[in-house]
Chains A and B, each alone.
Chain A
Amino acid sequence: MYKILIIEDEKLLSEMYEDKFSQSGFLAVVAKSAEEGLELLKKEKPDLVLLDILLPQENGIQFLKRIKDIPEISKTPVIVFSNYDDPETKKKAFGLGAKDYLIKTNFTPAEVVGKIKNFLDKLDKPLRGA
C-alpha cells in the first residue's frame, strides 16, 4: 500500500483527493501548509508528495527548496499539483526536482490517482508493494 502526502490548503479539494486516494487503496495524509507538510513528511515518510503551489505563508517552491537540504526526506518524489501554471514557476519546480507539474482542473481525481499509481509502480521500490 502506497502512502501519499497531500499538501493542499483548500479543504474542499484536499477532502476530495483524500477520499479518492483512500478509496483507491492509498494511505493519504493531508497537510494544510508547507510547514505542516514538512513535519508530516519527516514523520510519516510517504512514498510521494502531492504538492500545491499556492499555499499560505511558504509556497510550494519554498517547500521544494527546504526538503532539498534535509537528506532524510530529499529523495521523496514530489509531484506538483496546482492550478497555477505560470511557466516560470513550472521551470523552477522542475529545477528543484519536481517529477511532474499537473494542472488540477485538467484531470478528474480518478485520473490523478491513475497517474500517481503509474508513476509509483514504475519506481523500483522493493520494500513497498501494493
Chain B
Amino acid sequence: MDIKFTILIVALLNFIIGFSVLSRNRKSSINISFALVSFDLGLWAVSMFFYVRPLIFDSEVWIKIVYLFVIGLAVTWTYFFKIFLGVKDKIFPILITLLAPVFVFILTNTDFWVKGVIIKSWGPETILGPAYALFGIYILFAIGWVTYVWIKKLLQSRGIQKMQFIYIFVGTILYSVLATIFDVVIPLRTGDSRFFWVSTYFSLFFVVATAYAIIRYRLMDIRFIAGRTFVYLLSIVSIFGLAFFLMFLNNKLSTPVSINIFAPIATAIGILLFQPIFNFFEQIASKYFYYTFYSYQTVLTNLGRRLTQVLDLDRLSSLIVSTLTNTMKLDRTVILLRESGNGDYRIQKNIGFREENGISLVKDNFLTAWLEKNQMPLVYEELSLIVRDALKKEEKESLEKIRENMKKIEAALCLPLFIENKISGMIVLGNKISGEPYSQQDITLLTTLANQSSIALQNAKLYDQVHDLSENLQEKVDAQTKELKSAYEELKVLDKAKSEFISLASHQLRTPLTAIKGYISMILEGSYGKLPGSASKPLNNVLGSAERLIRIVNDLLNISKIELGKMELNKTPANIEELITACYEEMEHTAESKGLKIIWNKPKSRLPEIEIDKLKISQVISNLIDNAIKYTQKGEVEIKAAKTDSVIRISIKDTGEGLTEEELKMVFEGFTRGAAGIAYWIEGAGLGLYIAKKYVDLHHGKIWVESEGKGKGSAFYIELPIK
C-alpha cells in the first residue's frame, strides 16, 4: 500500500479531534478556535495528499490549496493561542489576519509564489518564487509572537495550568519548527521539496501534545472526546468497510458496470447509512461508557448520595465546596447561608473568592428576591439576555448591576438553596479553569445537587442547633445542680451551726440552773438554817420550775445531739417487763394523786430479752405514761405489752382529750405541742415525743399514735424488734 495514504489517517484524526472538541461545547471560543486549527490541519493534510497523489486536478492546483490552508493555519493558530492564553494584545493577530488576504491574492493570482510544478520520478516538485520567502517571514513572525506571549503567560501561570501550557507549547513548537524545516528551510536551501508532504505528520505533535495535556490535566473532558473519536472512527470504518464490500461484490459479479456508476451508489449508501450507523455506535458507547463520558457528573451524583451521610455543618459545607471545585475544575466556589433570624448571609465555606467579594452579591436583597421569584439558578452568560428581556427599568438596572458585579468577582453561576421555596442560602460558582461555559447538562445536574445540598445543609444546621441546645441545657442543669449542692452544703453548715449553738447555749444554761436547783434544795434541806413553814411551798415551786427548766434544756441538748449525729446507743440485753414496771411504779403516785386509775396489764407469757439502750427506752416509756397522765383529767391510763414473732409491742392508752387529725400528723414533729397543751397549763415542752421517736428510730423500731378524735382518748404504740 502507498505510504502516502497514511496522510489521510492524519487528516482524519485531526478532523475527529476538532469535531469532538467543538461538539463538546459549541459556545466556548477556546473549543471553536481549537476546532478551526484542527480542521485546517486536516484539510491541509488532505490537500497535501492530493498534491502528491493528484487523483483529480493536477498538483499545481493542489499545492496552491495546500498553501491556502497554511495561510489559514497561521490565522487560526494565532487566534487559538490568543484566546487560549487570554492575551489582550489585538494588534498582532489583526496584522496576521490582514496580511493573509494579501498572500492569498499573491498565491492565487500571480506566479511570485508558485511558479509551477514539475513531476519528477519521486513525485511533484514545486518551483517557488520570491514571495515564498516573504511568506516564510510571515509564518516565523506568527511563531515568534506565539512563543513570546506563551513564555509571558507561562511565567504567570502555576499548577495544572502551567503543565498544560508546557505540553501544548512543546507540541506546538515541535510541530511548527519541524514543519517549517520541511516546508520552508529544506526547499529553500536545497531546492528539493521531495519530503514536503512529511510535514503533515508533524501536526500530530500538536494534536498528541494537546491530547496528552487533556488526558493528564483534563483541559477538556477527554473521556468525552475519546468516546466521540471512538464513535466516529467506527462509523467511518463501517461505511468504508461497506463500500469495500460492495466493491468486492461488484468485482465478484464481474458485471461490466463501470466504476464510475458504482461510485455514486456507494456514496449515496454511505451518506444514507452514516447517521444510523453513527447513532448505533453512539448508543453502544453511551451504554458502556456513559458514566466515563461524563466523569464529573458521576462524581457529583455520588456527592448527592454522600450528602445525606454527613451531619456536621462544617464538614458538610467543606465536602460540597471542595467536591464542586475539584471535580468541575473551578477556580472558586463559595457557600453562603442565611441566618434564620434576620436573613443575613454569612460565608459558610469559601475557596478562591475574596471574603468581601463572596458576600457582595447578596448585599442588597435584589438577587435573593429575583432567585426566589424565578426559582432557578442564575448563569452569568445568560444574564445579558435576561437584562435585555427585563420589562421594568429598575429590574434592568439591578440585573445589570449584578452582571457587572459577577464579572468583577468572577462568579459564573449562582445556585440558590431553597427550603420550601424560600432561599436559605446559595452556592456561587466561579469559572471552569478550562474556560468552558456551563452546559445545560451541568446546570440541570447542579440544580439537583443544590436541592440535595439545601436539605442536607438545613438538616446539619438543625442538628447543630439541637446539639447546642442540649449542650446549653446540660450546662444549665450542671450549674443549677452545683448551686443546689452549695445551697445544701450551706444549709448543712447552718443546721450544724444551729445544733451546735443549741448545744453550747444549753450547756451555758446548765450552770446557773445547777446553782438555783442546788441552793434551793439545800435551803429546803435546812443547810442554811431552819425555814419558816410558809417559805417551804414557794421554794418548792421554785425548785419545780428549775427542774422543769433543766428538763427542757436536757431535751434541747438531746435533740442537738441527735441532729448532729452524736447520739449513741448503749445497748444491753433488757427485760422490757421489768423496765415498764419500774416506769409504772415511778408514775403510779402522780396518776393517783390526780385521781386517775393506772393499770399495768402484764403479759401472760414471758417476754424475751432484747438488746436496747435501757436508759433511753425507759425515758420513752416514762414520757408516754407521763403524757397520758398529763392530758387525761378523768378515767384511766392502761399500759400493755405483748409480743409477736418479730416485735415487742407496748401500748399506753388513755381516756384523755385525744388528738385531732391535724395533731396526729404533727405530734412526733419537733417543737410542736398539741392544742390541748396551750388550752391547759401542763408541764412539758412537746419535745418529749420528738425525742421518743428519734430514740425508737435509733432502735429500728416504730412509734405511732391512734385517736378517734377530740375527747375520745388516745393510744400510743411502740414496737421494738426482737432481733
Chain A residues touching B, majority SS? helix
Q: Are A110 and B525 touching (Cβ within 8 A)?
A: yes
Q: Are A87 and B515 touching (Cβ within 8 A)?
A: no
Set of chain A residues within 8 Å of B515, measured between Cβ atoms: 10, 12-13, 16
A109 close to B (CB within 8 Å)? yes
Set of chain B residues within 8 Å of A106, measured between Cβ atoms: 550, 554
> What mask results when residues 87 to 110 of chain A are scored 1 for a CB within 8 Å of chain B, else 0?
110000000000000011110111
Chain B residues touching A, majority SS? helix
Stretch at the interface among B355-363, B561-569, B585-593: B561-569
- The one of B510, B527, B561, B566 in contact with A104, judged by C-beta atoms closer than 8 angstroms, is B510
A55 to B527, CA, bound (A): 28
B634 close to A (CB within 8 Å)? no
B514, B515, B517, B561 — which one has the most chain A CB atoms within 10 A of its CB?
B514
Q: Are B521 and A19 touching (Cβ within 8 A)?
A: no
Q: Known pairs A83-B507, A83-B514, A108-B522. 4 more at Cβ < 8 A? A: A13-B518, A16-B522, A20-B518, A87-B568
Total residues of chain B contacting the partner, CB 8 A: 23
Q: Are A108 and B521 touching (Cβ within 8 A)?
A: yes
A124 to chain B, nearest CB (A): 27
A130 to chain B, nearest CB (A): 19
Among residues of A, the one whose C-beta sits closest to the C-beta of B553 is A105
B557 close to A (CB within 8 Å)? yes
Q: Are A105 and B514 touching (Cβ within 8 A)?
A: yes
Among residues of B, the one whose C-beta sits closest to the C-beta of A10 is B511
B188 close to A (CB within 8 Å)? no
A57 close to B (CB within 8 Å)? no
Among residues of A, the one whose C-beta sits closest to the C-beta of B528 is A19
A26 to chain B, nearest CB (A): 14
Set of chain A residues within 8 Å of B553, measured between Cβ atoms: 105
A84 close to B (CB within 8 Å)? yes
A16 to B522, CA, bound (A): 9
A118 close to B (CB within 8 Å)? no
Q: Are A105 and B550 touching (Cβ within 8 A)?
A: yes
A87 in contact with B567 given A13-B515, A105-B510 (CB within 8 Å)? yes
- The one of A17, A20, A108 in contact with B517, judged by C-beta atoms closer than 8 angstroms, is A108
Q: Are A108 and B510 touching (Cβ within 8 A)?
A: no
Q: Are B518 and A16 touching (Cβ within 8 A)?
A: yes
- The one of B507, B512, B517, B527 in contact with A19, judged by C-beta atoms closer than 8 angstroms, is B527
B547 to chain A, nearest CB (A): 9
B513 close to A (CB within 8 Å)? yes
Among residues of A, the one whose C-beta sits closest to the C-beta of B526 is A23
A85 in contact with B557 given A10-B511, A108-B517 (CB within 8 Å)? yes
Q: Are B568 and A104 touching (Cβ within 8 A)?
A: no
Task: List the interface of chain A (C-beta within 8 A of B).
Answer: 10, 12-13, 16-17, 19-20, 23, 54, 83-88, 103-106, 108-110
A108 to B519, CA, bound (A): 8
Task: List, sorted by A's number, 30 A–B pairs whose CB atoms are closer than 8 Å.
Answer: A12-B511, A12-B515, A13-B514, A13-B518, A16-B515, A17-B518, A19-B527, A20-B518, A20-B522, A20-B527, A23-B527, A83-B507, A83-B510, A86-B503, A86-B566, A87-B566, A87-B567, A87-B568, A88-B566, A104-B510, A104-B514, A105-B513, A105-B550, A106-B550, A108-B517, A108-B518, A109-B518, A109-B522, A110-B521, A110-B522
B712 to chain A, nearest CB (A): 37
Set of chain B residues within 8 Å of A13, measured between Cβ atoms: 511, 514-515, 518
Set of chain A residues within 8 Å of B518, measured between Cβ atoms: 13, 16-17, 20, 108-109
A54 to B568, CA, bound (A): 22
Set of chain B residues within 8 Å of A54, measured between Cβ atoms: 507
A52 to B148, CA, bound (A): 116
Set of chain B residues within 8 Å of A12, measured between Cβ atoms: 511-512, 515
Q: Are A16 and B519 touching (Cβ within 8 A)?
A: yes
Set of chain B residues within 8 Å of A105, measured between Cβ atoms: 510, 513-514, 517, 550, 553-554
Q: Are B507 and A84 touching (Cβ within 8 A)?
A: yes
A23, A54, A84, A104 — which one has the most chain B CB atoms within 10 A of its CB?
A104
B524 to chain A, nearest CB (A): 9
When A and B form their complex, which 4 residue pairs have the shortest distance between CB atoms, in order from nearest? Answer: A83-B510, A108-B521, A104-B514, A105-B550
Set of chain A residues within 8 Å of B503, measured between Cβ atoms: 86
A54 to B521, CA, bound (A): 24
A110 to B525, CA, bound (A): 9
Set of chain A residues within 8 Å of B512, measured between Cβ atoms: 12
Set of chain B residues within 8 Å of A87, measured between Cβ atoms: 561, 566-568
Among residues of B, the one whose C-beta sits closest to the C-beta of A12 is B515
Set of chain B residues within 8 Å of A86, measured between Cβ atoms: 503, 566
A85 to B561, CA, bound (A): 10
Among residues of A, the one whose C-beta sits closest to the C-beta of B525 is A110
Set of chain A residues within 8 Å of B510, measured between Cβ atoms: 83, 103-105
Set of chain A residues within 8 Å of B527, measured between Cβ atoms: 19-20, 23
A71 to B512, CA, bound (A): 37
A25 to B186, CA, bound (A): 158
Set of chain B residues within 8 Å of A88, measured between Cβ atoms: 566
B513 to chain A, nearest CB (A): 5
A121 to B49, CA, bound (A): 153
A86 to chain B, nearest CB (A): 7
From 478 to 510 in chain B, residues with beta carbon under 8 angstroms from any chain A beta carbon are 503, 507, 510
A15 to chain B, nearest CB (A): 9
A108 to chain B, nearest CB (A): 4
A72 to chain B, nearest CB (A): 32
A59 to B336, CA, bound (A): 81
> What mask results when residues 254 to 272 of chain B are scored 1 for a CB within 8 Å of chain A, else 0?
0000000000000000000
A10 to B515, CA, bound (A): 10
B468 to chain A, nearest CB (A): 54
A27 to chain B, nearest CB (A): 17
Among residues of A, the one whose C-beta sits closest to the C-beta of B566 is A87
Set of chain B residues within 8 Å of A19, measured between Cβ atoms: 522, 527
Q: Are A83 and B517 touching (Cβ within 8 A)?
A: no
A106 to B507, CA, bound (A): 13
A98 to B553, CA, bound (A): 25
A86 to B22, CA, bound (A): 106
Among residues of B, the one whose C-beta sits closest to the C-beta of A111 is B521
Among residues of B, the one whose C-beta sits closest to the C-beta of A16 is B518
B519 to chain A, nearest CB (A): 6
Set of chain B residues within 8 Å of A85, measured between Cβ atoms: 557
A7 to chain B, nearest CB (A): 15
A106 to B550, CA, bound (A): 8
B510, B518, B550, B557 — which one has the most chain A CB atoms within 10 A of its CB?
B518
A109 to B527, CA, bound (A): 11
Set of chain A residues within 8 Å of B507, measured between Cβ atoms: 54, 83-84
Set of chain A residues within 8 Å of B550, measured between Cβ atoms: 105-106
